[in-house]
């Protein structure tokens, strides 16, 4: 770790829990403000100003929650696997903590994507659940999150748990594209060319701009909740360190 010169300095600073705790504390207010502004503004825009879809009417407005949460659930898995890999390769404690903090957030976002997808299905397809390719893939992603969380809580030693879940997350990451492809293919085999929820040929700007705002807002929100969890995790694991004792007693 010490000898490689090609890694930038911040990479090693990130490895220091103390530095990471402080930088997260400094960034948190900015991200919170950005997340709140984007999410509230985006929601108002989506609910009041965006036009209704000519086919689906106002139920189309669910897209502004469904798509961002689905995108975030996938990005979160990717971040979890990459952080896990960094933890495995460079034995970086902070990366392990990031990976651990990712799992519950990603699982909750997958739940949101599933629930909104199911609710959206009712006015569109007439039933609360349809074995649509995207919904099924999201369900499987949710299962992958559950597996990672179950493994992490089953292993007592913290460093072993982090390494084991990192391996599992990486295996899952390799599998996600295969699962997505196979499920899509299975879907076309059984339900030829049904009405797709989110695949619009060309969405007008007044529809996709608020969607973009919501996606960015969700990313900001994700950063906020991730940093909050990360700070808790750093405090918990570094509770024997001098700087944590100073920090706690100074208040």
Partner 1 sequence: MSFNSFSEFLSMGGHGLYVWLSYGLGVIIILGNLIAPLQAGKRLRAQLTRRLIRESKGS
Partner 2 sequence: MADLITQAASERAQIGPGGLFVATLRRDLMLSLRRKSELVNPLIFFLMVITLFPLGVSPEPGFLAQLAPGALWVAALLATLLSMDSLFRTDFDDGSLEQLLLSPQPLFIVVLAKVLAHWMLSGLALTLVAPVIAVMLFLPAEGMPGLMLSLLIGTPTLSLVGAIGAALTVGLKRGGVLISLLVLPLYIPVLIFGTSAVQAAVTGLPLGGYLALLGALLALGLALAPLAIGAALRISVSG
Binding site for partner 2 (CB under 8 A): 88, 140, 143-144, 146-147, 150-151, 154-155, 157, 159-160, 163-164, 167-168, 170-172, 174-175, 178-179, 181-183, 185-186, 189
Q: Which residues, 6+ apart, have CB-to-CB distance to 23 below 8 Å?
A: none
Q: Decide whether 46 or 92 has the Cβ nearer to partner 2.
A: 92
Minimum CB separation of residue 157 from partner 1 in Å reads: 20
Chain positions 207 to 226 lying near partner 1, rule: CB under 8 A, are: 221, 224-225
Q: Decide whether 40 or 150 has the Cβ nearer to partner 2.
A: 150
Give the residue among 120, 129, 15, 30 at the shortest CA–CA distance from 66.
Answer: 120
Chain positions 41 to 70 lying near partner 1, rule: CB under 8 A, are: 43, 47-52, 57-59, 61-62, 65-66, 69
110-183-209-28 Cα dihedral, nearest 10 degrees: 30
Is the separation of the CB atoms in 108 and 172 below 8 Å? no
Task: Find where tokens 């996709």 sit.
Answer: 208
Structure tokens at 199: 């695949």
Q: Which residues, 6+ apart, have CB-to-CB distance to 36 below 8 Å?
A: none
Q: Decide whether 46 or 148 has the Cβ nearer to partner 2.
A: 148
Binding of partner 1 by 205 (CB under 8 A): no
Binding of partner 1 by 244 (CB under 8 A): yes
How far is it, in rounded angstroms, from Cα 113 to Cα 250?
42
Minimum CB separation of residue 102 from partner 2 in Å reads: 17
Residue 80: Cβ-neighbour burial (10 angstroms; 0-12, 13-18, 19+): buried
Binding of partner 1 by 145 (CB under 8 A): no
Half-sphere exposure of 99 (CA within 13 A, CB side): 31
Q: Decide whether 87 or 217 has the Cβ nearer to partner 1.
A: 217
Q: For residue 57, what are the β-bridge partners?
A: 53
Report the interface residues with partner 1, using CB under 8 A.
Answer: 39, 43, 47-52, 57-59, 61-62, 65-66, 69, 105, 108-109, 111-112, 115-116, 119-120, 122-123, 221, 224-225, 228-229, 231-232, 235-236, 239, 244-245, 248-249, 251
């Amino acid at each position: 770790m010490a000898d490689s010169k090609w890694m930038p300095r911040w990479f090693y600073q990130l490895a220091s829990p103390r530095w990471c705790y402080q930088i997260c504390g400094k960034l948190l207010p900015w991200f919170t403000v950005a997340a709140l502004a984007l999410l509230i503004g985006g929601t108002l825009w989506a609910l009041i100003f965006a036009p209704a879809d000519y086919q689906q009417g106002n139920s189309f407005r669910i897209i502004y929650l469904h798509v961002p949460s689905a995108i975030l659930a996938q990005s979160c898995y990717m971040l979890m696997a990459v952080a896990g890999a960094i933890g495995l390769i460079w034995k970086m404690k902070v990366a392990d903590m990031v990976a651990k903090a990712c799992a519950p957030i990603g699982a909750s976002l997958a739940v949101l994507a599933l629930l909104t997808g199911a609710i959206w299905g009712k006015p569109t397809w007439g039933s609360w659940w349809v074995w649509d390719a995207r919904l099924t893939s999201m369900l499987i992603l949710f299962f992958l999150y559950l597996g990672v969380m179950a493994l992490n809580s089953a292993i007592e030693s913290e460093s072993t748990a982090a390494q084991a879940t990192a391996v599992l997350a990486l295996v899952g990451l390799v599998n996600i594209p295969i699962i997505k492809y196979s499920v899509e293919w299975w879907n076309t085999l059984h339900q030829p060319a049904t009405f797709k929820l989110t695949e619009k040929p060309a969405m007008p700007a007044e529809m996709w701009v608020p969607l973009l705002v919501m996606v960015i807002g969700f990313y900001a929100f994700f950063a906020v909740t991730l940093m909050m969890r990360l700070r808790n995790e750093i405090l918990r694991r570094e509770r024997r360190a001098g700087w944590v004792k100073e920090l706690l007693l100074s208040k």
